[in-house]
């Protein structure tokens, strides 16, 4: 879903995907290429996937960084979508934290509780919560997501229930006029 969303809002020329299981990696690439219509290539290593990519998306069950933060290049944006528990640290090794010019989260209060990528580095003094912002601040124009070229930006998508409710409402609004919605009675 993250890849689909990125392809909806950016002009994508190529996608490289890495996963530890070569067969699942190949199948993912084939499925996504059919779905999205973009060339999607299996990468042989995390380094090959990261090199010269404009946008990096990570969604794993990893409890440790999936690649070395020194691989991140200026002007890259990172969408980190699975580091949603304190014991997870999907991508943000300490070097990546140091190199990120902007770190955005869904909600700061939630990040203090769940974001394994950030809680540890904050406790070690590598970054401060006060330097991070909520995505809504960028969306509403209160702050700039990127102030100058070559900055490294990062968004950690923890997901909030209110986001799911908002999306469900929009889907329902579109489905009703087309007769594609049906009411379900709640269990009581």
Q: Express each pLDDT in 113-122 by its tens digit.
A: 888 778 888 8
Domains present along the chain, CATH in parentheses: 45-160 (3.40.50.720)
Q: How many CB atoms lie within 10 A of CB 2?
A: 15
pLDDT mean across residues, the chain:
86
Kindly report the pTM of this predicted structure.
Answer: 0.79
d(CA 40, CA 14): 6
Please say if the pLDDT value at position 90 is more than 70: no
Show the tokens assigned to 16.
């490289």
Could you give the C-alpha distances from 59 to 22, 28, 158, 183, 186, in angstroms and in order?
16, 13, 11, 33, 32
Show the tokens assigned to 138.
């960028």
Please say if the pLDDT value at position 88 is more than 60: no
- What backbone phi and psi angles, to 5 degrees, belong to 152? -100, 125
* DSSP E strands, 22-163: 40-42, 55-58, 77-80, 102-105, 133-134, 153-156
Q: How many CB atoms lie within 10 A of CB 163?
A: 14
Q: Which residue has the higher pLDDT, 145 or 130?
A: 130
Q: How many CB atoms lie within 10 A of CB 115?
A: 27
- Identify the band that residue 84 occupies on the pLDDT scale cut at 50, 70 and 90: low
Q: Three-state DSSP class for 36?
A: helix
- Identify the band that residue 42 occupies on the pLDDT scale cut at 50, 70 and 90: very high
Full strand arrangement of the beta sheet holding 55-58: 55-58, 77-80, 153-156, 102-105, 133-134
Nearest Cα to Cα of residue 163 among 145, 136, 142, 186: 136
d(CA 142, CA 24): 41
């Amino acid at each position: 879903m993250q890849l689909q969303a990125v392809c909806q809002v950016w002009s994508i020329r190529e996608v490289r995907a890495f996963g530890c299981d070569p067969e699942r990696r190949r199948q993912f690439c084939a499925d996504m290429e059919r779905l999205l219509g973009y060339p999607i290539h299996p990468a042989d290593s995390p380094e090959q996937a990261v090199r010269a990519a404009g946008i990096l998306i990570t969604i794993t069950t990893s409890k440790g960084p999936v690649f070395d933060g020194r691989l991140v290049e200026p002007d890259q944006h990172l969408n980190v979508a699975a580091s949603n528990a304190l014991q997870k640290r999907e991508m943000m090794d300490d070097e990546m934290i140091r190199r990120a010019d902007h770190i955005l989260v869904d909600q700061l209060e939630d990040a203090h509780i769940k974001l394994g990528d950030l809680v540890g580095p904050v406790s070690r003094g590598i970054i401060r919560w006060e330097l991070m912002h909520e995505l809504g601040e960028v969306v509403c124009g209160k702050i700039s997501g990127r102030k100058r070229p070559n900055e490294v930006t990062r968004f950690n998508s923890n997901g909030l229930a209110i986001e799911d409710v908002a999306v469900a409402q929009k889907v329902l609004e579109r489905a009703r006029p087309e007769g594609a919605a049906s009411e379900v009675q709640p269990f009581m």
